[in-house]
Amino acid sequence: MLLGLGRFDAVNLAYGEAAGDGALVEVARRLLHFAADELADGEWIAARLGGGKFALVAHQQLNRERWQWLGEAVGEAIAAPIAAIDGSGTVRLWPRIAMMRVLPGESPAHILDRLAATLGRAHDRPDARVLWAERSHAPAGIRAAELEADLLAAIDRNEIEIAFQPQFSLADGRLVGAEALARWHHRRVGLIGAGPLFAIAERVDHVAQLSRHIAETALEAARDWPHDLRLSLNITPADLASREFARDFLKIVAATGFDSDRVTLEITEQVLLSDLERSAPVIERLRARGIRIALDDFGGGFCNFRYLKLLALDEIKLDRSMIEGIESDPRDRAVLKSIVALARALQLDVVAEGIETEAQAAIARDEGCAKFQGYLGSVPLSASAFLERARS
């Protein structure tokens, strides 16, 4: 496990560097004491890696549940108040812990890459003290630094592919458009999806370049679609952070020859959290050119209704978690009914994501959702496969 102390600089500022050093000594003492109590003798190593980061490695037969409990218990122990060495007050720390079970053949550098990436995500999650490393953030057999360098070259060589997730009308099952999804077929790792792809781009500050490449590639592919189909693209925080995003995006649309009034831009709550007031005029400028704006993954995060009040939106896309269970749980269906009623009052269309069964589709249609996407309709398709389906 990799343990990081969030906001540790604030301790030094508030209590002085001596108090900060004393807190680090106490963290080390607690970590050693905990390991000595809970782990077999001689089968573990604890170390400070620098700053407010510590590692605990156990070479033992521990199942995932036991390791999870150990991580949570360590977090509780470190979070307990620490008396400042000069008696000036009580220091409280905010530990976050990244955990993993090492697989055969994983190098120390690869292990640290995976843990560091996970710890970075943990510090952004106030609701989770312990997070497990996901293999997608640093695939086995290749270091994060190699992936980052390969990504920059892949963008230059147009190796980032676009898949299209078809969208359908719930009223009659008609194909109405598609959402563009980025895919990268790495020569050694294999398929890397949009989430890990943008995580890699963020580490090298190339999110804007990647986002632009995806938009250009998707718009060029969609230029040959039948004229009644719409294209949905996702907006990143880096996009809206740029003052010139609206101008630059409209130039891309014009250059590809795709009609701007057939474009939908999907924005998640994570994008809006950074600066809601700054996002509003950008959205207004895009809508003035006919572009529709959708609030994506609604219900999967904070479900902040303030966004519905302040932003000029055209539709909301329900997170797949809002669809799961609607055919069997009356409470889930009641929540769906309430959200659709709210959207209708605000003159917003509702798109249901993650529709996998006919029963789910029927309920979403009966409750007033306009469109759906999910495996019931189609898996994501290549550009050529989607064009063939659209023409047929």
Q: Are 327 and 357 in contact (CB under 8 A)?
A: yes
Residue 66 and residue 19 in one domain: yes
Query: Which ranges of the chain would DSSP assign to H, the alpha helix?
Result: 8-15, 17-38, 64-79, 108-123, 144-156, 194-203, 207-222, 237-241, 245-256, 269-273, 276-288, 306-310, 330-345, 358-367, 383-391
Tens digit of each residue's pLDDT (9 = 90 or more) over 221-249: 999 999 999 999 998 877 877 778 999 99
- Domain end position, chosen among 137, 170, 196: 137
Residue 55 and residue 88 in one domain: yes
Please give the backbone phi and psi of residue 43, each rounded to the nearest 5 degrees, phi first: -110, 20
Write out the residue range of the structural domain in which residue 249 sits.
145-391
Residue 54 and residue 162 in one domain: no
pLDDT, averaged across the chain: 85
Residue 27 and residue 59 in one domain: yes
Residue 99 and residue 238 in one domain: no
- The encoded tokens of residue 131 equal 């997070």
- Domain end position, chosen among 90, 105, 137: 137
Residue 8 and residue 107 in one domain: yes
Residue 153 and residue 131 in one domain: no
Band (138; pLDDT cuts 50, 70, 90): very low
d(CA 237, CA 268): 9
Higher pLDDT: 170 or 145? It is 170
Instruction: Kindly report the CATH number assigned to the domain that includes residue 326.
Output: 3.20.20.450
Query: What does the radius of gyration of the chain's CA atoms come to, in whole angstroms?
Result: 24
- What is the enclosing helix (H) or strand (E) of 316? strand 315-318
d(CA 293, CA 248): 17
Residue 367 pLDDT > 80, yes or no?
yes
Tens digit of each residue's pLDDT (9 = 90 or more) over 245-296: 999 999 999 999 999 999 999 987 666 655 667 778 888 999 999 999 999 8
Residue 56 and residue 152 in one domain: no
pLDDT at 114: 80
What's the number of domains the chain is made of?
2
Residue 23 and residue 153 in one domain: no
| Stated pTM of the model | 0.66
pLDDT at 81: 82
Residue 64 and residue 152 in one domain: no
- CA angle 153/122/185 to nearest 5° reads 25
Specify the 3-state DSSP secondary structure of 91. strand
Average pLDDT over residues 54-73: 83
Range name among 34-38, 91-95, 131-135, 148-152 with the lowest pLDDT average? 131-135
- CA angle 42/101/54 to nearest 5° reads 60
Residue 124 and residue 207 in one domain: no
